[in-house]
Structure 1
Amino acid sequence: MEQQQRNASDWLWLASLVFMWGSAFIAIKIAVDHIGPLWLVAIRLIIASSCMIAFAYWKKVKLPKGWREWRAMLFLGSFGTAVPFILISFAAPYVPSAIAGLMMATIPFQVLLFSLVFLPEEKATPVRLLSLIIGFLGVAAIIIGSGNNGQNQAIVFLPFALLIIATTGYATNGIISRRMIDMPAMTKSYGTILVATGTAFIGAILFEPMPQSISWQGWSSAAYLAIFPTWAATVVYYRLVDKTSAAFCTQTSYLIPIVAVVLGAIIFQEQLSPIQFAGFFAIIFGLLIAEGILKNRKRRRLPTPPA
């Protein structure tokens, strides 16, 4: 499967997936200027879950069954989806959208780190540890590069802390998915998005005033986030995994940051410092080392939707 020839449609689906996930950071940055972070996520997920319910009815996708499956959905939907969405929305006004995209490249590193800690079958080889060190040095370079503008370092670091916690939530999805009982991928996605919607709505009701009015920019950005990076990307992702392979889809980890950087430069005229570019290439280099070690292992390591 891993070696089969990919056709043009496979690459087009992959490109659409990368664009949808990579463009999410631009849409978030626009939306939070018009909607509070908590209500943005709640509205985004309400629209996305409505699309998912209609899609599930059409395709006869089943809901999870029993407490054991729903318990996994509670974790994946709350801590692995809703909370990262919220944290990224809170961080978005304070960091370039390109930086948010770059931070998503740390997810495979965190999956590897958690695998070494929580999965007994994983081995902490010297090369794996080297890849982790290189990757986190790259993250440090990206953060340091943002602190060269005279701002208070604590203020500069806080949005990065939120992004790191958000990516940790995404990374734990991979570990929980490997530990949880087997179920169809679309059923897992269906249950996750429903739980995430409930979590985000409760959080918005409890902790943020309901918006009295929302501009068309706010509604359009929220609708874009809901329909494309959230619902459509989920459907495309699982379709592509079923049609090709998990390894083929993992290439999104390398391409999403590039899309985020390019779109940030075009739309917001964002510029990254040389040390931040160096950090990005360090992250990619570390990922290549890790993938070189892991490629001979016959297991599925699925990427997680980043935003």
Structure 2
Amino acid sequence: MWGFSFLLIKVGTQVFAPFQVTFGRLFFGTAVLAVAMAVKRERFPRSGRVWAHLAVAGLLLNALPFSLFAYAELTIPSTLAGICNATSPLWGMALSLVALSEDRPTRRRVAGLGLGFLGVLTVLGAWQGFSGLDFTGTALALLASLCYPIGWIYIRRTLAGSSSSHLSLTGAQLMLATGQLALVTPLFTTFPTSFPVGPVLAVVVLGALGTGLAILLQYGIVAEVGPTTGQMVTYFVPVIATAAGVTLLGERISWNTPVGALVILAGAALTQSRARQRAGTPAPAEAGTPAPAGAGTPASAGAEAPAPAER
């Protein structure tokens, strides 16, 4: 579902403005979570402080990156957007070294960070002067990927220990993000003059499945197999995004795109790996639940923090 998000964004923006696509996905994603909350009889948080922090989280993890990806795909292929999304763990690792004192650098993680950004340069074709690359669109996609770890760190700092359930917090967060887009969209767009079936269905599926249902599935995955295994989804998203863009949209890629993507994923894997423990030494505790980030990168968000609604 997260891998196809980039294809659906591309289809949606063929007719609708980027803000309209983002508002649609947030609206339908919120609707799915609202139904889930009603079925489970979950209640929204009551604390004003929690709502204020969730408003910031909704901006950083949903409204802003969703919109940036939509604008990016006006000028870059969905395949490139999906690969840029895979840099989120690299940004997260770099930021956590500065913002989170408990995340100390290791040789393995620093090597993974360097390898990952070498992969980014490979995808962008740095040796040929980035020729043929839309700089603005690529920069917007990379900025969108940077938003996720900033949001995760913010949640870890402000909402760890909240008594509300993950579903309640995420539902409120997504609803606040929808409200933010409801305010912004009319200011920068005009009402669509037509509603073709294809783009409309793309936005509905993007929101209901890729943003709403995928979050609910992620909860089940984490509960069953744990956050570490749940993070494996990170490495499938760009593969599926690339396959979908090439086979269904006819997008062309050069050799450096898949090679660079593999290098990025290898670097991301190193930044999240841990050295093997010696016999008799207890393994470190998990940092927290993976947070579905936008198009689909999970990350550790803190033991009691909500799982931010996916890309």
Question: How would you bin the TM-score normalised by the shorter chain?
Answer: 0.7 to 0.9
Corresponding residue number in structure 2 for 1:99: 80
Secondary structure of the corresponding residue to residue 195 of structure 2: coil
Decide whether aligned partners of structure 1 residues 292 and 55 sit closer, same or farther in structure 2, where only a CA change above 3 A counts: closer
Q: Report 1:132-143 matches (<5 A).
A: 132-143=113-124
- 1:234-273 maps to which residues of 2 (within 5 A)? 234-273=215-254
**Residue 30 to residue 227, structure 1, CA distance change in 2 (3 Å):** same
Number of residue pairs the alignment of both structures matches: 285
**C-alpha deviation, 1:22, in angstroms:** 0.3
- 1:199 match: 180
For 2:140, the aligned partner's letter is L
Code of the aligned partner of 2:61: G
1:166 aligns with 2:144: yes
1:208 is matched by which residue type in structure 2? T
Match of 2:199 in 1: 218
Cα deviation for residue 47 of structure 1 reads 2.2
User: Could you say if the C-alpha distance between residues 84 and 49 of structure 1 is closer, same or farther in structure 2, counting changes exceeding 3 Å?
Assistant: same
Q: Distance in 2 between matches of 1:209 and 1:231?
A: 26
In the superposition, relative to structure 1, how do residues 32 and 133 fare at CA in structure 2: closer, same or farther (>3 Å)?
Answer: same
State which drifts further: 292-301 or 179-188.
292-301
Flag the 1:48–1:146 CA change in 2: closer, same or farther, 3 A. farther
Q: Does 1:298 align with 2:285?
A: yes
What 5-or-longer segments of structure 2 have no aligned partner?
277-282, 296-310
> Where does the alignment leave 5 or more consecutive residues of structure 1 unmatched?
1-19
Alignment of 1:1-307 (within 5 A): 20-144=1-125, 151=132, 156-179=134-157, 180-182=159-161, 183-293=164-274, 296-299=283-286, 300=288, 302-305=290-293, 306=295, 307=311
**Structure 1 residues 124 and 148: CA distance shift in structure 2, 3 A:** closer
Three-state SS of the structure 2 residue aligned to 1:93 is coil
* Distance (Å, rounded) in 1 between the aligned partners of 2:292 and 2:127: 26
Question: What is the rounded CA distance, in whole Å, between the counterparts of 1:301 and 1:57 in structure 2?
Answer: 23
More helix by share: 1
Q: CA RMSD in A?
A: 2.1
Deviations 1:122-143 (A, max 9, x none): 2123332221111111112212
Percent identity between the aligned chains? Answer: 24
1:164 Cα deviation (Å)?
A: 1.1
**Contact kept? 1:145, 1:276, Cα under 8 Å:** no
Q: Distance in 2 between matches of 1:122 and 1:149?
A: 34
- Deviation, structure 1 residue 69: 1.0
2:69 and 2:144 in contact (8 A); partners too? yes
Rate the CA distance shift 1:210–1:88 in 2: closer, same or farther, 3 A.
same
Structure 2: how far apart are the matches of 1:185 and 1:53? Answer: 13
Report the Cα offset of residue 223 of structure 1. 0.7
Q: Which moved more, 1:81-90 or 1:233-242?
A: 233-242
Q: CA deviation at 1:44?
A: 2.0
| Alignment CA distance shift 1:297-1:142 (3 Å) | farther
Structure 1 residues 73 and 275: CA distance shift in structure 2, 3 A: same
Shift of 1:89: 0.5
What TM-score do the two structures reach when normalised by structure 2?
0.85
TM-score of the aligned structures, taking structure 1 as reference length: 0.86
In the TM superposition, residue 159 of structure 1 has moved relative to its aligned partner by: 0.8
Q: More relative contact order in 1 or in 2 (CA 8 Å, sep 6+)? A: 1
Identify if the C-alpha distance between structure 1 residues 271 and 146 changes in structure 2 by more than 3 Å, giving closer, same or farther.
farther
The separation in 2 between residues aligned to 1:230 and 1:241, in whole angstroms, is 17
Residue 228 of structure 1, CA deviation: 0.5
